[in-house]
Amino acid sequence: MELSPNEYAPYYAQYMELVKGEIGTELKLQFRSFPALLLNIPKEKELYKYAPDKWTIKEVIGHLIDTERIMAYRALSIARLDKTSLPSFEEDEYVRNTNFNIREMDELINDFEVMRISNISLFNSLNKDEILRIGVASGHDISVRALFQFMVGHTEHHAKVIKTKYLN
């Protein structure tokens, strides 16, 4: 079932459009494909920035992990009918206040895998009513399924950036 535009803020459209298949299937496919991409990154590229104001590959991975954690919390809160308006987060501030660059690549890959398998489990545990629920995050209405679709599209976006901007 395709998402309707009232299920997410316009900003998310760039990520939603990258998802071609069913959300649950795509979550599982990326559980394998994204770590496989990361395992092929040469050690000398791990701290590479393609521009001075951009993140390193390790920071990109950490950003994906942090974002999935936040989106999963939002999805759980909305699915459980928590009426709290969920706050936004400043991604650059999150990355600035981490130690991603001194962590081993294997640790970051493991964190991504653990987070994604947990999110697959959460997605699979939700019934039709829960997945369609809408709450408020970052001042905008968003559905539970849109949050999961965002996870897929966001990871796809960053995988493409890694391939085209970091590994060329």
Q: How many domains does the chain have?
A: 1
b/e burial code for range 100-133 (CB count within 10 A of at least 16 → b): beeeeeeebbebbbebbeebbebbeebeeebbeb
CATH number of the CATH domain containing 152: 1.20.120.450
**Extended strands (E) in 2-160:** 134-137, 140-143
* Tens of pLDDT, residue by residue, the chain (168 residues): 689 989 999 999 999 999 999 999 999 999 999 999 999 999 999 999 999 999 999 999 999 999 999 999 999 999 999 999 999 999 999 999 999 999 999 999 999 999 999 999 999 999 999 999 999 999 999 999 999 999 999 999 999 999 999 998
- How far apart, in whole angstroms, are the C-alpha atoms of residue 74 and residue 86? 7
- How far apart, in whole angstroms, are the C-alpha atoms of residue 68 and residue 118? 10
Q: Which domain holds residue 103?
A: 5-166
